[in-house]
A = this chain, B = another copy of it.
């Protein structure tokens, strides 16, 4: 488009046999037209460059025995749909600390197959779901007990490497942040978890924040209870690929992202819960 405009401009400015007045009048018109057209054209070029250089995003979703099915499948499907709409710029796979294996979800739910081992050296997003189980009690099938079990595996070591990798964003849904906090990995980090687990999150050293989605720096994004996995994934799709892909996924899913993503930016609200 720019070529065509410049082409006409040069043709005209070099046109012989026209009076100086007409020439300058035409020149002025074309400068005006150019001032309208060029920024649009530049924006279009910039947009195309942005799209072409948009890094491919790889998402690993971590499975462990007793994981919550919806914590995994909701973000899985958001990222898969983002891949579909972006010409496969997003890829997503299910992983486990132990490698390829069938992993049972909690409450005797269905199993999902981890396709490969969690790779903390691979750039992109590593998402940790919560567990499905009884909210409280002393039996093995309570959520706190299920979240404690991965401590005995390689997961804490792998997640520590993930946190050390500057090319990785760690995301969590529901009890996922509590799982990491129980492994000592969220010390002094802002995070949210399922509302039942907020006290436990604080006790494990994190700074609990009441929000649907919390971003602590760019490399830790946590979500609240179960269905917040939709919002965590939609936020990350927007952040990494822009609002158009995120909006397309929302439309496809007949869902609108919920809540302002909390970040330690801007002014903080006055705390009316403490005595002033």
Contacts and interface: CB of A to CB of B under 8 A. Distances in A.
Majority SS at the chain A contact face: mixed
Interface residues of A, number: 32
A242 B172 CA distance: 32
Nearest to A68: B77
Interface stretch (A18-26, A35-43, A223-231): A223-231
A80 interface: yes
Contact of A225 (B70, B194, B252): B252
A256 B45 CA distance: 43
B110 A76 contact: yes
Nearest to A106: B80
Interface in A87-130: 94, 107, 109-113
28 contacts: A68-B77, A69-B73, A69-B77, A70-B73, A70-B77, A73-B73, A73-B74, A76-B110, A77-B109, A77-B132, A77-B226, A80-B107, A80-B109, A80-B132, A84-B134, A110-B113, A112-B112, A135-B252, A194-B254, A224-B254, A225-B252, A225-B253, A225-B255, A226-B253, A226-B254, A226-B255, A227-B253, A228-B254
